[in-house]
Amino acid sequence: MKAPHRKAAPPPRERPGNGPLLEIEDLVVDFATDDGAVRAVDGAGYAVMPGETLGVVGESGSGKSVTALSALGLIKPPGRVVSGRVVFDGTDLRTLPPRELRRLRGGRIAMIFQDPMTALNPVMSIGAQLREALRLHRPGMSRAAARKRAAELLTLVGVPGAERRLRQYPHEFSGGMRQRAMIAMAIANDPDLLIADEPTTALDVTVQAQVLDLLRLTRRETGAATVLITHDLGVVAELADRVVVMYAGRVVEHGPVAEIFGAPRHPYTRGLLESLPRLDGDADELTPIPGTPPAPGEAAPGCPFAPRCALARDRCRTERPELAPTGPGRASACHFHHELAEEKTA
């Protein structure tokens, strides 16, 4: 199947002011530990436009999942949102009463997780869970209508024999089929925003390809904006319009996917792309990033990437770089990003 998804993307939904659908600004999240608070997210933020797919990439501990989860009020103690602003379609989510926030989640905002077994209820049939998701957010919906819609949804996400499958329980589904069921549940209420946290990481590559196709299909069907959180740059390249690169709890670079991957303007983004083993091209030594990411809470005053960066100099160790524009619609948090532009990697 070809994937001309950028052209096929549906027109963004009508909304006042053409602003972003979700805006996260300067988010700070701490985790309490025996040794004091550890900063997991350190002033991260991004905006998601209606209908677009935004990839959020980073390695373990970069804060990519915590940022999204805490923006939706899903972070539990010992985690705590210290400060920041989260606005969804004009509503400030941080001041929203928990009841209203719950109504948004599963309604206008839906989620897909890496492990469907944690998101599905093991003692309820798939059909019952789908019907519950539907009727919770549409009190007027009849049982019969919910049953019919549940079957439609399961068919839409490519689960064959929907009628029979609705009566089955999650453990009777394979990993890929469970992921499909969870996607059906996520799109049940026609969300405006879909948060997908490592949606294909646990799947085998041939099943991953099926689920990626399905995510393309659901985007076409629902027109929902998607935040795709993943460590897999290939998945982002296939699915996302724009990408946000996170490191040590901060956004270090963002912009259109093809531009960022084709000509990175942050040494971390470049290092990540160079350390990636490839299916084509040069098959010899990889170029790793030296060292390891800072342990959470090991905050230095300057740039968090400086200890691993070949470009780093004194200024990087004392002055924290802020995101600065490096071209139309893109920005990098590197004091010396212009040097990467001059180098021009092949």
| Range 185-214, binding another protein (CB under 8 A) | 204-210, 212-213
Given a contact cutoff of 8 angstroms between Cβ atoms, the answer to whether 133 and 188 are in contact is: yes
What phi and psi, each to the nearest 5 degrees, are found at residue 30?
Answer: -115, 150
Closest CA to 159 of 134, 135, 184: 184
In the bound state with another protein, the residue whose beta carbon lies nearer, of 189 and 218, is 218
> Per-residue string for binding with another protein, 4-43, x by CB under 8 A?
xxx-------------------------------------
Cα-based angle 250, 228, 222 (whole degrees, multiple of 5): 140
Distance of alpha carbon 153 from alpha carbon 180, whole angstroms: 10
Check residue 123 for interaction with another protein (CB under 8 A): no
Quick one: which segment of 29-37, 106-114, 148-156, 254-262 binds another protein (CB under 8 A)?
Answer: 254-262
Q: What is the DSSP letter of 50?
A: T
Quick one: which segment of 19-27, 163-171, 278-286, 325-333 binds another protein (CB under 8 A)?
Answer: 278-286
Check residue 238 for interaction with another protein (CB under 8 A): yes
CA distances (Å), origin 228, targets 16, 134, 192, 302, 334: 25, 24, 14, 29, 24
Mode of pairing for the β-strands spanning 79-88 and 22-33? antiparallel
Check residue 1 for interaction with another protein (CB under 8 A): yes
In the bound state with another protein, the residue whose beta carbon lies nearer, of 132 and 213, is 213
> Which of 237, 299, 300, 341 is close enough to bind another protein by CB under 8 A?
237
Quick one: which segment of 14-22, 85-93, 116-124, 270-278 binds another protein (CB under 8 A)?
Answer: 270-278
Check residue 66 for interaction with another protein (CB under 8 A): no
> Which of 90, 161, 262, 329 is close enough to bind another protein by CB under 8 A?
262
Check residue 132 for interaction with another protein (CB under 8 A): no
Minimum Å gap between C-beta 266 and another protein is 14
Beta strands in the chain (DSSP E): 22-33, 36-48, 53-57, 79-88, 91-92, 109-112, 193-197, 225-230, 242-247, 250-256, 324-327, 330-332
Check residue 168 for interaction with another protein (CB under 8 A): no
Give the number of residues in contact with another protein, rule: CB under 8 A.
Answer: 51
CA distances (Å), origin 120, targets 78, 162, 182: 24, 17, 7
Check residue 324 for interaction with another protein (CB under 8 A): no
> Which of 77, 140, 277, 301 is close enough to bind another protein by CB under 8 A?
277
Distance of alpha carbon 322 from alpha carbon 292, whole angstroms: 22
Quick one: which segment of 34-42, 65-73, 218-226, 227-235 binds another protein (CB under 8 A)?
Answer: 227-235
In the bound state with another protein, the residue whose beta carbon lies nearer, of 67 and 230, is 230
Pull the structure tokens for residue 43.
């002033």
Distance of alpha carbon 11 from alpha carbon 192, whole angstroms: 13
Distance of alpha carbon 130 from alpha carbon 110, whole angstroms: 13
> Which of 37, 156, 273, 341 is close enough to bind another protein by CB under 8 A?
273
Is the peptide bond prior to 78 cis by the omega test (within 30 degrees of 0)?
yes
Check residue 343 for interaction with another protein (CB under 8 A): no
Residues that bind another protein (CB under 8 A): 1-6, 59-60, 174, 176-177, 204-210, 212-213, 231-239, 258, 261-262, 271-273, 275-280, 283-290, 292-293
